[in-house]
Amino acid sequence: MSTRLDIVFAALADPTRRRILTMLLEDDMAVTDVAEPFDVSLAAISKHLGVLTNAGLISQEKRGRVKWCKLEPDALRDASVWMQGFGQFDQLDLDGFERFLEKELRQPD
């Protein structure tokens, strides 16, 4: 489980990836729509999506010519259980996680 947690936390460490997760909380999105608000190349966003997919935080599915991204919130369960061991965190609360991500996005880097 430690290796899995390492992969999840490494994926969450990047602010761009956290922003992508926040976007996907609303609904599934096409890769091009995910990339739109970022000032980086589509290839760079694809690499971020690959990291998130590898961590199990999102899934990607090709529908026709379009690749879609979907949030996989259950992937955070192990991280949530691990954090609960410190007694400072409640069970996985997706609304709380969304608020946390939105707060992170509002803070300057």
- pLDDT profile of the chain (109 residues), mean per 10: 85 95 93 95 96 96 95 85 69 72 72
Residue 97 located in a structural domain: no
For strand 58-63 and strand 66-71, is the pairing parallel, antiparallel, or unpaired? antiparallel
For residue 59, what are its two tokens? 């899934």
* Cβ neighbours, 10 Å, residue 35: 19
> pLDDT value at position 84?
76
d(CA 23, CA 98): 9
> pLDDT value at position 20?
96
Residue 93 located in a structural domain: no
CATH number at residue 12: 1.10.10.10
Residue 7 located in a structural domain: yes
Domains identified in the chain, total number? 1
Q: Kindly report whether the global pTM for this prediction surpasses the value 0.85.
A: no
> pLDDT value at position 109?
55
| Domain interval for residue 60 | 2-83
